């Protein structure tokens, strides 16, 4: 496939919807402007045929009480249908879009999101049939941070960094236990040769640690780098604050996640990698533009060359 255009504008939709139960009017306005601008580009600059243009929203939007208002607004503005991805289909879409078809049978995907960590792998059955096996951990960057803060006895200290670091360390055994239960319930994971990782936690690591060297769509990761990053995150954060003054991508990371969120994100990443058996013999990749996986998945589903029937 060829990516002809890619644009991103980071708005904390998940946080806003979780806080109020609906899409704030300001977010709705930003969505409208962004979609209309991108549609114009697709139609005018790239001459994409109308039947090949789709507008899709993340599953988190399904929980918003005013989702119908957004759907109606989109349809009025664009004359196109507006679909919200089924939360039960999200992991499958991520796997289809993030793992190259040639690696379907030998890889697994894990996406560390704000609310949960999800993904899965594909088993090859008889007659060239494929079976999708979902994986889900009920901790994401935001939910783990909230869970750790709830263990702080004095609410006034919940935002104190040293207190948070201490409580975060104390919470790690609970996180590891959850991950062990997930992996023990899915023995085929141990046989997978490649691990594809996506989501904000891995984006933050790759951007802050490798900074200018993140050019490829698939970025090779190793445990030593993840642990070195972890040490800087917890003991020398000023290094990243300084980097953000001259590096736009690093600045984007720090405007999206504060230090507490970044610590939680990397605790999930470290615990996942430590929990996977035989990691030293596997290849680990970061899927750089995770947002594109949705697009690739939609395209793959409409391709006559790729078997995505799972």
User: What confidence tens digit (pLDDT) does each residue in 177-224 have?
Assistant: 999 999 999 999 999 999 999 998 999 999 999 976 666 778 899 999
210 DSSP assignment: H
Q: Is residue 260 within 8 Å of 152, Cβ to Cβ?
A: no
What are the phi and psi torsion angles at 268 (to 5°)? Answer: -65, -45
Tell me, yes or no, whether 230 lies in a domain: yes
Same domain? 75 vs 223: no
Tell me, yes or no, whether 309 lies in a domain: no
Provide the domain limits for residue 52: 13-85
- Please compute the mean of the pLDDT values over residues 13-19 and round it to a whole number: 89
pLDDT above 70: residue 100 = yes
Which domain CATH number covers 63? 3.30.420.40
Query: Residue 123: enclosing H or E segment and its boundaries?
Result: strand 117-124
Tell me, yes or no, whether 5 lies in a domain: no
Return the SS3 of 111. strand
Return the SS3 of 57. strand
Tell me, yes or no, whether 149 lies in a domain: yes
Return the SS3 of 220. strand
**Structure tokens that stand for 11 in this block:** 């708005």
Q: Which residues partner with 283 through β-bridges? A: 194
Same domain? 155 vs 228: yes
Same domain? 110 vs 216: yes
Residues 201, 267: Cα–Cα separation, whole Å: 9
Tell me, yes or no, whether 22 lies in a domain: yes
Q: How many domains does the chain have?
A: 2
The structure's pTM equals 0.77
Same domain? 50 vs 63: yes
Going by C-alpha positions, the residue among 130, 128, 127, 111 that lies closest to residue 119 is 111
Taking only the tens place, the pLDDT of each residue in 258-308 is 999 999 999 999 999 999 999 999 999 998 776 677 667 767 776 666 666
């Amino acid at each position: 496939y060829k990516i002809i255009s890619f644009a991103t504008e980071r708005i904390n939709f998940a946080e806003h919807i979780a806080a109020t139960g609906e899409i704030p009017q300001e977010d709705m306005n930003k969505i409208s402007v962004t979609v209309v601008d991108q549609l114009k580009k697709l139609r005018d600059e790239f001459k994409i045929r109308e039947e090949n243009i789709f507008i899709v929203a993340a599953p988190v939007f399904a929980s918003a009480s005013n989702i119908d208002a957004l759907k109606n607004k989109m349809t009025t503005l664009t004359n196109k249908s507006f679909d919200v991805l089924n939360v039960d289909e999200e992991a499958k879409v991520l796997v289809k879009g993030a793992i190259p078809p040639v690696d379907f049978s030998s890889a697994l995907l894990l996406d560390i999101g704000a609310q949960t960590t999800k993904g899965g792998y594909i088993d090859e059955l008889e007659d060239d049939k494929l079976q999708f096996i979902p994986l889900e951990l009920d901790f994401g960057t935001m939910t783990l941070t909230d869970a750790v803060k709830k263990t702080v006895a004095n609410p006034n200290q919940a935002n104190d960094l040293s207190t948070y670091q201490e409580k975060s360390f104390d919470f790690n055994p609970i996180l590891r236990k959850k991950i062990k239960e997930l992996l023990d319930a899915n023995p085929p994971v141990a046989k997978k040769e490649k691990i594809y990782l996506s989501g904000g936690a891995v984006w933050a690591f790759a951007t802050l640690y490798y900074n200018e060297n993140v050019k490829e769509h698939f970025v090779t990761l190793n445990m030593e780098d993840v642990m070195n990053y972890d040490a800087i995150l917890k003991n020398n954060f000023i290094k990243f604050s300084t980097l953000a003054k001259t590096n736009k991508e690093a600045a984007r990371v720090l405007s999206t996640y504060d230090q507490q969120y970044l610590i939680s994100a990397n605790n999930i990443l470290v615990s996942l990698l430590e929990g996977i058996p035989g990691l030293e013999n596997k290849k680990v990749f970061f899927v750089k533009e995770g947002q594109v996986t949705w697009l690739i998945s939609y395209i793959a589903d409409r391709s006559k060359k790729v078997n995505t029937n799972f």
